[in-house]
Amino acid sequence: MEKNYYPVFLQLKNKQCVVVGGGDVAARKVAALLACDAVVRVISPEIVPELQTLADTNRIEAICRPYTRESLADAFIVIAATNNHQVNQLVAEHCHEDGIPVNVADAPHLCDFIVPATIRRGPLTIAVSTGGTLPAMAKKIRRQLENDFDEAYGELLTALGQARTQVLDQIPDSARRKRIFTALAAEDLLSTIHQGGRAALDRRIAEIIQHTK
């Protein structure tokens, strides 16, 4: 039966995340977790060189032994990414019993959550999911969106975030602040940054703030 997933972004900073598995798939999962400032523990008898380097530099905790239930201690989320379906299923069973959200690679029926294909452009994150039906299609859609949402979006949103902070700090009139934010959102600032770069963008934002009363 098709699952109806609830889309959500998790704050993983300083949260204990456990990855069971030590191959290339596990390495990709670990890299994504580290990008979110998670605390990562890897459980696997053997790990690929990429993970070993992370362990040697204290970026992750690597426990090079077979999986045991004790490996899940203090876990906020768990990812099972071994090449052994029985081990992955055992991890999922333990997580379900212990109330720990688990993701199992290539087994959406065992997952409490799935990991979408993502595009990151500075503060902008776009997530694409096919509900686990065909992850390859989600990746194809992501590639299409990457052409539509270039790096300028990240720079634009960074500038708008700075402008918003400035407006909140310097303009006490809440009604005017709302008009400014509406004007900024309505303006085609993406074309401004494409044509003139960040300097032109900053000038245009300043003009909008100044002239919106």
Model confidence pLDDT, tens digit, residues 151-210:
999 999 999 999 999 999 999 999 999 999 999 999 999 999 999 999 999 999 999 999
Residue 79 has pLDDT above 60, yes or no: yes
Structure tokens at 157: 């949103």
**Strand 16-20 vs strand 39-43: parallel, antiparallel, or unpaired?**
parallel
pTM of the model: 0.81
- Residues 94-120 have a mean pLDDT of 93
Least confidently predicted of 4-8, 39-43, 61-65, 168-172: 4-8
Q: What is the mean pLDDT of the chain?
A: 94
Q: With contact defined as beta carbons under 8 Å apart, do 70 and 47 qualify?
A: no
pLDDT of 136 reads 86
- Residues 118-124 have a mean pLDDT of 91
Residue 1 has pLDDT above 80, yes or no: no
- Residues 44-62 have a mean pLDDT of 98
Residue 84 has pLDDT above 60, yes or no: yes
pLDDT of 2 reads 61
Which residues have a Cβ under 8 Å from the Cβ of 60 and sit 6 or more positions away?
Answer: 30, 34, 40, 41, 42, 51, 54
Q: Which of 152, 157, 162, 172 is nearest to 206 (CA)?
A: 162
Please state, as a whole number, how many other Cβ atoms lie within 10 Å of the Cβ of residue 49.
Answer: 9
pLDDT of 64 reads 96
Residue 69 has pLDDT above 90, yes or no: yes
3-state secondary structure the chain: CCCCCCCCCCCCCCCEEEEECCCHHHHHHHHHHHHCCCEEEEECCCCCHHHHHHHHCCCCEEECCCCCHHHHCCCCEEEECCCCHHHHHHHHHHHHHHCCCEEECCCHHHCCCCCCEEEEECCEEEEECCCCCCHHHHHHHHHHHHHHCCCHHHHHHHHHHHHHHHHHHHCCCHHHHHHHHHHHHHCCHHHHHHHHHHHHHHHHHHHHHHHCC
